[in-house]
Chains A and B, each alone.
Chain A
Amino acid sequence: MIEAALAIVLGGVFNAAILFLVSAGLQLVFGVQKIVNLACGSFYALGAYFGISAVQWALGAGTPRPLFLAVLLLSGVALAAIGPVIERLLRTIYARDESFQMLLTFALVLMFEDILRIVWGPRTHVMGGGLYTLYGQLPFGAVKIPVYNLLVILAALAIAILMGLFLARTRFGRIVRATAENREMSEALGVDMARVYARVFTLGTALGTVGGALVVTSTAASLDMGIELIVDAFAVVVIGGLGSMRGAFVGALIVGVLKAVSIATYPELELMAVYMIVIAVLVLRPAGLFARATA
């Protein structure tokens, strides 16, 4: 019984790992640039589609199968190249009200819907060839958990730690935190805002595309996956507090595990659970669990 419960929780943690990656990207961009990037779901979907194509190509070109995870990670990182391009677009309206920026990202969502369809078509793209179970499975009572899931959880954890160290210890990390707290002061102190923004947005994009690439092995690439994810990422960000990385981590865990548990215990609630959590948090503790003082 304990194993069954553990299996359910681990499933939730796997979800949380992916959710964390995408939400961390969202948080980073909001914290520094005060933009709510609705297109983070689109980046996620792009990472998934591109990941499958990259793996297919690499394996076809003779790459040994166990290296497919590396191919996925690399493809996700490579996609971050679209970050600076899109950031340039958003840069044109930094001075405006935040709602405008959110609207521009909504425009991106619309455009990406069709771009994905144009490039990859409407079919579901599944990674075949038994790659999901290539690294083996661990028995957990009635279920087996693919080692891949654990690897992804570890990867997300590693990224979380690296992000934390990056923000706390490196020079650029300190600049990022300073800019998040007080943009004008940072600028007055000589920080090149354009460069900071470009880098931060690229990093945020990479987190989304890597998340998509990692998840596609265990799921699939489909047209609506981005729209579906926005809602959950949204909940994570609200619970954790806008702009907080720690909040993204804890929020992702809460949303991921709560969803998993509710599916196993009160399946009727599944559809509404997320929104109820969001509203409860926004009403009871509007700043979220780890809000920054200047949010």
Chain B
Amino acid sequence: MKHRAALALALLAMALVPLAGRDYYTTLMLPFFAYGIALFGLNLLFGYTGVLSFGHALFVAVGAYTAAYLTSAFGILHFEVILLVAIGAAVVVAIPVGLLCIRYVKIYFGMLTLAFGMLFYSFLYKFYHLTGGDEGMRVLRPTLLGQSFPTLDKVGFLTGPYYYYSLALLVIATFVMWRVVRSPLGLSLRSIRENPDKAQYVGVSVRRYRFFAFVIAAVFGAVGGALLSIPTGLVDPLLAYWTHSGNLVFMLLLGGFTNFFGPILGAFVFIFLQDQVMSLTQYWRLVFGAILAVVVIFFPHGLMGLVDPRRRAGT
């Protein structure tokens, strides 16, 4: 099937990037992988369930700080352990936050999630004995599948084993999300997005399914956050700030939330566009604000909306 072939080609292209020798751009793919995973989660909430979270950065920060804690405070370097604990932490945080937020919809949901994100930010900032406060916490280089690659320096590690590991995680995350979206849960979520009242009449427990979506989204966010923290080597409270959540929504919209692969495209374009624009002008915020405005007004279905003829009508 030609679609499968196209996907395989994209995967091959990504696998070949490190071999092109442009180390910087290879390292730039890493936040792309991380954000791609986090955005799958955000889109489960927005594209499939119809609620827009302005606090998704909270879970990204949870994942990142998990990595920091385990590596620098407890000396646990196995990345698989870090991922598992990050997932657990995300669930633990998402349950109470989700239960509270899920009672609301539309703008209230957005505002409440924003508030929780900022609460987490101020917690990370304030409790500096635990979290390092404004100075943040170090994230040490993890071992991948038990291997520490002692002969490789950080750049070699990032453009080599860590690159492929992150790519593999993205592929796995894509697969998992594909299954979720195709599952009865996914179908129920879509019915909730279309018409919550009708869904309720048909027997779909709106609140419960929204809650599940919230927790799953949190897990994806945290995995992305853990991945994101390694190249920087440091986590700080700004990871949870509301403008970081705003950027995540920006990426999602840029890629297109009505399409399964929209989030990935959005992350890719955002990261590389930001990189180029930042080098071009010191007024990149102005440029990016303008781009976001243009996308919101003229291309609400994002870039995927341009290529996919089977666009969803209206929002």
Contacts and interface: CB of A to CB of B under 8 A. Distances in A.
Interface of A: 34, 36, 89, 92-93, 96-100, 102-104, 106-115, 117-118, 227, 231, 234, 238, 242, 268, 271-272, 275-276, 278-279, 282-283, 286
B292 to A, nearest CB: 4
Interface stretch (B23-31, B98-106, B145-153, B167-175): B98-106
A231 B108 contact: no
B297 A238 contact: no
Interface size class on chain B is: 35 or more
A6 to B, nearest CB: 29
A290 B241 CA distance: 29
B48 to A, nearest CB: 15
A275 B289 contact: no
A96 B111 contact: no
Contacts of B54: 102
Given A102-B110, A279-B115, A110 B289 contact: yes
Nearest to A278: B115
Contacts of B289: 107-114
Nearest to B246: A106
23 contacts: A92-B297, A93-B296, A93-B297, A97-B52, A97-B106, A99-B46, A100-B296, A100-B300, A103-B250, A103-B253, A103-B292, A107-B289, A107-B296, A110-B285, A113-B286, A113-B289, A114-B283, A114-B289, A271-B125, A275-B115, A279-B116, A282-B100, A286-B104
Given A115-B286, A279-B112, A108 B118 contact: no
Interface of B: 46, 52, 54, 100, 103-104, 106-108, 110-112, 114-116, 118-119, 122-123, 125-126, 243, 246, 249-250, 253, 283-286, 288-290, 292-293, 296-297, 300, 315
A166 B219 CA distance: 50
Contacts of A109: 289
Query: Counting chain B CB atoms within 10 Å of each CB, which of A89, A107, A282 scores highest?
Result: A107
B292 A110 contact: yes
Contacts of A272: 119, 122-123, 126
Nearest to A283: B100
A258 to B, nearest CB: 16
B293 A98 contact: no
Query: Counting chain B CB atoms within 10 Å of each CB, which of A93, A102, A113, A286 scores highest?
Result: A102
A35 to B, nearest CB: 9
B286 A114 contact: yes
Nearest to A227: B243
A282 B297 contact: no
A36 B111 contact: yes
B285 A114 contact: yes
Contact of A96 (B122, B292, B300): B300
B118 A97 contact: no
B18 to A, nearest CB: 33
Given A97-B315, A113-B285, A114-B283, 20 more contacts: A89-B297, A93-B300, A96-B300, A97-B52, A99-B106, A99-B107, A99-B110, A102-B107, A102-B110, A103-B292, A103-B296, A106-B250, A109-B289, A110-B286, A268-B126, A275-B122, A279-B100, A279-B112, A279-B119, A282-B108
A98 B107 CA distance: 7
A234 B111 contact: yes
A111 B292 CA distance: 10
B286 A36 contact: no
A275 B288 contact: no
A36 B110 CA distance: 10
B108 to A, nearest CB: 7
B266 to A, nearest CB: 13
Given A98-B106, A102-B110, A271-B126, A118 B283 contact: yes
Nearest to B288: A110
A227 B300 CA distance: 26
A10 to B, nearest CB: 27
A113 B300 CA distance: 24
A107 B290 contact: yes
